[in-house]
Amino acid sequence: MNNPALFDQIIVKLRTTTEVTQVIHSLEEFSGTAFGPTDIIAQQQIFQKLPKEIADMLINSLTKQSPTAEGKILIKRQVNELLDKLRSCKSVKLTIAFQPDDATVSLFSDWIKTNTNQSALLDLQFDRSIVGGAQVIAGGIYKDYSVRKNLINRYQIQRDEIMELLK
Amino acid sequence: MKNFQQYLTQSEEIGFVEACNQSIVYASGLPNATLQEILIFEGGELGTVLSLSRDQVEILLFSKYSVKAGMRVTRTGLKQEIPVGFELLGKTIDPFGHPLNTSKPIEEPKTSRPIDISPTGINTRARIEQSFETGITLVDMLIPLGKGQRELVIGDRKTGKTSFLYQTILKQASLGTICIYAGIGKKKTDIKKVEAFFHAAGIEDNTVIIATSSEDPAGVIYLTPYAAMTLAEYFRDEGHDVLVVMDDLFTHAKFYREIMLIGKRFPGRNAYPADIFYAHARLLERAGNFVLANGTEHAITCLPVVESVEGDIAGFIQTNLMSMTDGHIYFDVDMFTKGNRPAINPFISVSRVGRQTQSPLRLSLNRELISFLTLHRKLESFSHFSAEAGADIKRTLAVAERISTFFTQGANEVKSLDLQIVVFCLLWIDYWQDLLKMEKDIAVINQTYKNSIGAQSLVKELVGSVKSLNELLLQVRKQQDKILSSFGLQQVTMTNI
């Protein structure tokens, strides 16, 4: 099996930083058991908490190796390699005013992966105070496309008119 | 200054604190941050960009309260600046121009200048030609200084360095020079003492204190002398001569070392960073005698102070500073314990450019004195062998004792050099035989001279009319009675001339 290519596939499947954190925790847990008494079922259980598609990919690539000492060393090396890749993934922080459903998260993630990098992750934040729109942080650049900011700008420009309307 | 959110909206760049070690913070993001740019954290803390790497920005904090990992930080687009203006005269401020003494509100100056700039080139500089009076006879006669000179003040703790600085500031402020005292990482009580001295001496209108206390963040302490120099440059450009006292650069070097060691810079000699020489040279090179755009010459004279430990002047920072200044005044702990005030050792002290500013009379006086003191030093060492001294040797030793008394000067006491030259002539022609009488007479002369316009004009006329010490001695002999009478002394018949 070509693991580097498989790892890239795993990363492409991951949508958000939360999912990546879950994978990292699972991998660290798996890594801790790698040199203990081999219990493949218990090891596979570790990945069951993850989304099914990713869990299957990890189980296939990491728990189906020969349980010899050399095999364990190889697995450990692969886990570390995958952990490094996951930790180095860039993320785009998106703050929105509503709690998105799973389809919306996929939509955002797909857009980001298509328009930036296939390994880019979505760091989704929920903040009702921005009213609508979104705040985006990527690579140290901050863009505020929120309704709140537009309202503030509008208020600064047309303060007198707005105050007149509110009377 | 705006708040974090306003700067974030303006710059549209954000960073996140990744790691924090005392006054050094590492943050990711901020792709367009520039060196020395001021950054603001979401808690309102300020910092400056110390270095940039591919993924991280190294930030030097200017705030006491340490920031936390994960905090947001953004660019302000501002450089380290200090507000400058005549409104600051008589005030005590920090390196960013904020008042330290809240009982004296400051009208915020309208202009600001960058704190850390490169020194100007040779085309803006002129030869140092005007003498700089310190009010201390020993220095003015033996180690003369010039306006625009950088003279290191070096000595152990408690040897009279601060008194010397006070006296010099007092003298220069009374001559109209703007004096800036930079207290670097001082105790708050010491800063108060300086303030009280300026107030008591009535020279507040010509002085500014830029101070940081030892409790301040290392980054702010580091900026203190640079801010003082920026302020000095402003006053110079406004057509004033300026004196900058930096008390002291040894402390500055220690704080710079602390910052750089925390910042994981490779330590050099005595653990100082490799660019410590550059940091100080870049600062002191901003002093000098300058030609302004309108053709006038104005000087920034700088007196950096450095502390020595147990008389060791060969330390790393001490020798660095000696090599980048135009001389040094050494306060000798042995002389101090022997009771000499000021405890300046004229044989170890050096003035590289001061002599070129001297009038022919002062120059000839300086040569005569130096050669006499050198001779006395040799004779003194022979006298240790209990050799029987001849009449000439005895006379030399006696005159040397009188000269030592003549140079003795109390703390906060400043003297007119012209008067001291005439008094020295009286001493040189053996007017005084008795040391006690000499001390009393000198006290009377100083008192009379302050209040007598006649004495002042006579001294001015005498000193201005001659070009060498011999000529002046001749004049003093001729007009002795007149001089003594104008000084309020009883006239005596000279028998020993």
Say if residue B342 is preceded by a cis peptide, omega within 30 of 0: yes
Helix count (H) and strand count (E) of chain A? 8, 4
Nearest chain A Cα to B73, which residue?
A140
Nearest chain A Cα to B57, which residue?
A140
Measured between beta carbons, the chain B residues lying within 8 angstroms of A144 are 9, 12
- Distance, CA of B301 to CA of B222 (rounded, Å): 21
Residue B326: DSSP 8-state: S
Element containing residue A122 per DSSP (H, E):
strand A121-126
Nearest chain A Cα to B56, which residue?
A140
Residue A7: predicted pLDDT: 83
Strands B152-155 and B297-307, by their bridges, are: parallel
Distance of CA A19 to the CA centre of its chain: 5
Give Cβ neighbours of residue B105 (< 8 Å, ≥ 6 apart): B99
Is B8's Cβ below 8 Å from some Cβ in A?
yes
**ipTM, interface predicted TM-score of the complex:** 0.79
Residue B380: predicted pLDDT: 79
Alpha-carbon distance B219 to nearest alpha carbon in chain A (angstroms): 25
Cross-chain CB nearest to A139 (options B8, B9, B31): B31
* C-alpha distances out from residue A67 to A33, A46, B226, Å: 12, 17, 66
Interchain pair B14, A142: CB under 8 A: yes
Alpha-carbon distance B8 to nearest alpha carbon in chain A (angstroms): 8
Please tell me which residue in B113, B125, B265, B352 is annotated as part of the active site.
Answer: B352
Alpha-carbon distance A144 to nearest alpha carbon in chain B (angstroms): 8
CB atoms within 10 A of CB B478: 10
Measured between beta carbons, the chain B residues lying within 8 angstroms of A140 are 13-15, 28-31
- Tens digits of pLDDT across chain A (167 residues): 456 778 888 888 899 999 999 999 988 888 877 666 666 777 777 887 888 888 888 887 776 666 677 777 888 888 888 899 999 899 999 999 999 999 999 999 999 999 888 889 999 999 999 999 999 999 899 999 999 999 888 888 888 888 888 88
Nearest chain B Cα to A136, which residue?
B12
Interchain pair B29, A139: CB under 8 A: yes
Over the stretch B430-452, which tens digit does the pLDDT of each residue have? Answer: 888 888 889 899 999 988 998 88
Q: What are residue B306's DSSP bridge partners?
A: B154
Is A140's Cβ below 8 Å from some Cβ in B?
yes
Is A141's Cβ below 8 Å from some Cβ in B?
yes
Token representation of residue B195: 């303030």
Nearest chain B Cα to A150, which residue?
B9
Alpha-carbon distance A94 to nearest alpha carbon in chain B (angstroms): 13
pTM of the model: 0.87
Residue A97: predicted pLDDT: 94
Residue B430: predicted pLDDT: 87
Mutate one of B3, B12, B16, B59 to test the A interface: name it (highest A CB count within 10 A).
Answer: B12
- Distance, CA of B119 to CA of B287 (rounded, Å): 8
Is A148's Cβ below 8 Å from some Cβ in B?
no
Is A90's Cβ below 8 Å from some Cβ in B?
no
Nearest chain B Cα to A88, which residue?
B55
Nearest chain B Cα to A137, which residue?
B14
Could you tell me if residue B186 is left (phi over 0), alpha (psi between -120 and 50 degrees) or otherwise beta?
beta
Give Cβ neighbours of residue A106 (< 8 Å, ≥ 6 apart): A15
B427: amino acid identity, one letter:
L
Interchain pair A141, B12: CB under 8 A: yes
B251: amino acid identity, one letter:
T
Is A143's Cβ below 8 Å from some Cβ in B?
yes
Mutate one of A142, A144, A150, A152 to test the B interface: name it (highest B CB count within 10 A).
Answer: A142
CB B469 within 8 A of CB B361: yes
Interchain pair A140, B14: CB under 8 A: yes
Interchain pair A140, B74: CB under 8 A: no
Task: Report DSSP letters for A13-58, one per residue.
Answer: H--BHHHHHHHHHHHHHHHHHTTSS--HHHHHHHHTTS-HHHHHHH
Cross-chain CB nearest to B31 (options A140, A144, A149): A140
Cross-chain CB nearest to A137 (options B9, B11, B14): B14
Is B31's Cβ below 8 Å from some Cβ in A?
yes
Residue B497: predicted pLDDT: 42
Interchain pair A140, B29: CB under 8 A: yes
Active site residue B352: yes
- Tens digits of pLDDT across chain B (497 residues): 789 999 999 999 999 999 999 899 999 999 999 999 999 999 999 999 999 998 899 999 998 877 899 999 999 999 999 999 999 999 999 999 999 977 777 788 889 999 989 999 999 999 999 999 999 999 999 999 999 999 999 999 999 999 999 999 999 999 999 999 999 999 999 999 999 999 999 999 999 999 999 999 999 999 999 999 999 999 999 999 999 999 989 999 999 999 999 999 999 999 999 999 999 999 999 999 999 999 999 999 999 999 999 889 999 999 999 999 999 999 999 999 988 889 999 999 999 999 999 999 999 999 999 999 999 888 877 776 656 777 788 888 889 989 988 999 988 888 899 999 999 999 999 888 888 889 899 999 988 998 889 999 999 999 998 999 999 999 999 999 999 999 888 655 444 44
Measured between beta carbons, the chain B residues lying within 8 angstroms of A137 are 14, 29
Over the stretch B277-328, which tens digit does the pLDDT of each residue have? Answer: 999 999 999 999 999 999 999 999 999 999 999 889 999 999 999 999 999 9
List all residues of chain B from 35 to 74 with a beta carbon under 8 Å from chain A. 74
Over the stretch B22-74, which tens digit does the pLDDT of each residue have? Answer: 899 999 999 999 999 999 999 999 999 999 998 899 999 998 877 899 999 99
Interchain pair B74, A139: CB under 8 A: no
The runs of H, that is alpha helices, within B325-468 are 333-337, 360-383, 391-407, 417-428, 435-451, 453-465
Interchain pair B8, A142: CB under 8 A: yes
CB A100 within 8 A of CB A124: yes
- Distance, CA of B438 to CA of B473 (rounded, Å): 18
Over the stretch B124-143, which tens digit does the pLDDT of each residue have? Answer: 999 999 999 999 999 999 99
Q: Using CA of residue B33, residue B37, residue B40, residue B41, what is the dihedral sign?
A: positive
